[in-house]
Amino acid sequence: MTEQSQFTSRVDQLDQQVDEWWERWRGMPTVDRLFFGASNLGDFSLIWHLVGGLRALPPGRKTGSAVGFSALLGLESLLVNQGVKRFFVRNRPGSADENTTKHQLRQPITSSFPSGHASAAFCASTVLASRSKFGSLWHLVAGVVACSRIHVRLHHASDVGAGACLGFLLGKTIGRLVPKG
């Protein structure tokens, strides 16, 4: 067995263990509502565009910060979804068609690795946390959005972990380009 296949096997084992642990939370109405809602709000970074726009509303705020924040999210999406994901071809653990709940779910068309929802969430939360008195709260919201992808079975735990790390790094590096407002 090669080193790469040993590594892949261990990652698969970890993903399976997390999925088995997570199974206890699936099917609970309140938990399903939270995570399916978070997953849907994470589609196209909707939640983060809304937060960026709302932060620019109070008098005296610069609208350029909201535009810059949305541009950052667009750049993150381009880099992750059209760049990084093309280097990996990983099947998803499930599909939207297999969803037996009453909650709607959009079927992604890109590779499972890394999670674009997790990357966008942690890119956004990293920028927001550096400019807000609610710093840790943004990371908590990002964690819910990221973990929602495990709950709805559209990502493996390792996809989410890698996406979160990538998003954090992107937030730290290219987040500096966003005007402060």
Residue 133: which CATH number? 1.20.144.10
Q: Is residue 53 part of a domain?
A: yes
Residue 17 placed within a domain: no
For residue 181, what pLDDT is reported? 64
In a domain, 132, yes or no: yes
CA angle 164, 38, 28 (to 5 degrees): 115
Does residue 13 lie within any of the structural domains?
no
Measure Cα distances from 21 to 17, 18, 94, 151, 156 in Å: 6, 5, 16, 11, 13
**Is residue 6 domain-resident?**
no
**Does residue 137 lie within any of the structural domains?**
yes
- Within a domain: 9: no
pLDDT along the chain (181 residues), means of 10: 84 97 97 98 97 86 85 96 95 91 92 98 96 91 99 98 98 85 64
Q: Are 123 and 154 in contact (CB under 8 A)?
A: no
Three-state secondary structure string covering 64-122: HHHHHHHHHHHHHHHHHHCCHHHHCCCCCCCCHHHCCCCCCCCCCCCCCCCCHHHHHHH
pTM of the prediction?
0.93
Helix %, strand %, coil % for the chain, to 5?
Answer: 70, 0, 30
Question: 171 is written with which tokens?
Answer: 């937030």
Identify whether 73 is part of a domain.
yes
Domain count, the chain: 1
